[in-house]
Amino acid sequence: MALLSRSDILTRNAVLTAHRGLAISDSGVYVSGIQLVWPNKDLALCASGESGYEWVSPDDHSLLAIPSVESLTTHPISSRTNVLAIGDGLDVLQALAGRTTVFDGGIRLVYIDPPFNTQGNFRQYNDTMERSMWLSMMRDRLMSLRPLLAENASIWVHLDDAEVHRARSVMDEVFGESAFVASVVWQKKTTRDSRAAFSSNHDTILVYAPSGPKKWKTSRNLLLKDNTHLLNKDNDPRGPWADAPFTAPGYRSAQQYEIVTPTGRKLRPPRGRSWYATEPTYQELLADDRIWFPKGGDGSPRLKLFAHQLRGLVPFTVWGTADTGTNDEAKRHLMSLFPDQEVFDTPKPELLLERIIHIATNPGELVVDIFGGSGTTAAVAHKMRRRWVVAERNSQTVLDFIFPRLQRVINGTDLGGVTEATSWEGGGSFEVVQVLPRFGKLTCSSLPGQIKQSLEKLANREKESSSFCATGT
């Protein structure tokens, strides 16, 4: 195994830009007057075996070794490869960063939907971690993500009320308080629980940008406007349009002139305002039929704006089900893909990920999720023509859900989710790797050789199924 020195690790975890009011400790976290304290905070939490964890001293020499990457498919990993990695997120990040070039261009978006630590058990995973372990698990993985981020990156952490308040303190330490952007409230269901004191119907998504919200705002995307409100009031051959007042606040001498309406009325800007543009620009707009006079030509001028000229919408912090779907809708989508299997209880809908990926990235940029779950992040990123790296520790989850789901995305046989909205018809590729844990042992069924055989069988089955769908025979 390749080794990292202690100074290399600290350098890797250092932040390139300082944050106001905060200092960086020797361990690489931001420190201020207020901190969240928990048992064993000074120790690292590493994956052990198939599903366990171990407390490890930061000075343990085992942490200096870069985990190995076992390729389970045919092609090598490049800076443009989509990667499905089997292994703990911390190990996967360090292995891929140290042994491949997949992160060389920087991560533009991190979306993670970690265990909520609700102290309940679900079909696909155990959600009963001891709190101090959960906090260290989150901190250590966020710390490993930090040096891999692009300058205009953002991190979205999806949680419920069980740990979200403590998670924000952890993220303040890892990224700095000034990196906080927003808490997005997502309405995850519309049904009511009449047995509860309050019927909880939302999750919270914490959004951080290391460059700070003001700088990140200049590179994030606005939401697309609904063009159904556009009208064509004058039968313009260019199509329907919206309109806005042809005035601007304040007094500007170059924008104080007389406008004559089609009915002959002579107008000047209202008191304390100016026309929207100078007179030469107004004459150009008028000649281009971009000025509209309401009230049969007797009203004040308004500027015509066609669909491609409309500015998008700044995202709200409350997202409803009409725009971003529900857990139940996501579950029905999974059931349509896997009718013979017990699917996840609370999968995230593709509509939700479509909005997040749209806001935070552009086509070709890298999306990372280190808690892969049912594979929604990878599926939507692929349909939206983004690159992606997704890690999932549970090899059976990869075999049962993520791998076959992504095969269907590539084959063009997944017709649900955002397939129609993104005009997705199939294509692309991905590679599968496994990163073994530093501590503990795996069972025979979870070793690379056995998983590789299972993947080959699944790939052949999906290929046959795709051919059947294409021919109808």
State pLDDT tens for residues 394-448.
Answer: 999 999 999 999 999 999 999 999 999 999 999 999 999 999 999 999 999 999 9
pLDDT of 207 above 50? yes
Task: Determine the distance from the C-alpha atom of residue 141 to the mean position of all C-alpha atoms in its chain, rounded to a whole number.
Answer: 16
* CA atoms of 473 and 468, how far apart (whole Å): 6
State pLDDT tens for residues 82-101.
Answer: 999 999 999 999 999 999 99
For range 201-219, the mean pLDDT: 97
470 secondary structure, DSSP code: H
pLDDT of 19 above 90? no
More confident residue, 33 or 77: 77
What is the percent of the chain where pLDDT is above 70? 90
Range with the poorest average pLDDT among 159-168, 232-241, 304-313, 374-383: 304-313
For range 180-189, the mean pLDDT: 98
Q: Tokens standing for 215?
A: 């700088």
More confident residue, 473 or 427: 427
pLDDT of 124 above 60? no
Render the burial of 225-246: b for 16+ CB within 10 Å, e for the rest.
eeeeebeeeeeeeeeebbbeeb
What is the sign of the dihedral through the CA atoms of 448, 338, 358 and 410? positive
pLDDT of 9 above 50? no
Structure confidence at residue 464 (pLDDT): 82
Average per-residue pLDDT for the chain: 91
One-letter amino acid of 217 = K
Structure confidence at residue 17 (pLDDT): 35
Any idea what the Cα angle at residue 243 is, between residues 241 and 248, rounded to 5°?
150
Pairing, β 387-392 against β 83-86? parallel
Determine the 3-state secondary structure of 439 from DSSP.
strand
Structure confidence at residue 3 (pLDDT): 53
State pLDDT tens for residues 256-274.
Answer: 999 999 999 999 999 999 9
**How many residues can be counted in the chain?**
473
More confident residue, 31 or 442: 442
Pairing, β 126-127 against β 120-121? antiparallel
Measuring CA to CA, how many Å separate 466 from each of 277, 337, 408, 459? 57, 13, 8, 10
* CA atoms of 147 and 177, how far apart (whole Å): 17
Structure confidence at residue 122 (pLDDT): 57
* Residue that the structure tokens 């170059």 belong to: 254
For range 381-386, the mean pLDDT: 96
State pLDDT tens for residues 137-146.
Answer: 999 999 999 9
Range with the poorest average pLDDT among 94-108, 192-206, 218-232, 276-290: 218-232
Range with the poorest average pLDDT among 79-93, 199-213, 217-231: 217-231
* CA atoms of 461 and 388, how far apart (whole Å): 24
Render the burial of 107-119: b for 16+ CB within 10 Å, e for the rest.
bbbbbbbbbbbee
Measuring CA to CA, how many Å separate 321 from each of 8, 100, 260, 392? 45, 39, 48, 27
Range with the poorest average pLDDT among 148-157, 237-246, 286-295: 237-246
* Inter-axis angle of helices 376-383 and 350-360, nearest 10: 60
* CA atoms of 29 and 7, how far apart (whole Å): 15
**Residue 169, φ and ψ in degrees, nearest 5:** -65, -40
pLDDT of 13 above 60? no
64 secondary structure, DSSP code: G
More confident residue, 468 or 165: 165
Structure confidence at residue 468 (pLDDT): 58
More confident residue, 346 or 199: 199
Question: Are 302 and 294 a contacting pair, CB within 8 Å?
Answer: yes
Structure confidence at residue 345 (pLDDT): 87
Which pLDDT band holds residue 29 (cuts at 50, 70, 90)?
confident
pLDDT of 119 above 90? no
State pLDDT tens for residues 279-336.
Answer: 999 999 999 999 999 999 999 999 999 887 888 899 999 999 999 999 999 999 999 9
Which pLDDT band holds residue 226 (cuts at 50, 70, 90)?
confident
For range 175-195, the mean pLDDT: 96
Structure confidence at residue 465 (pLDDT): 77
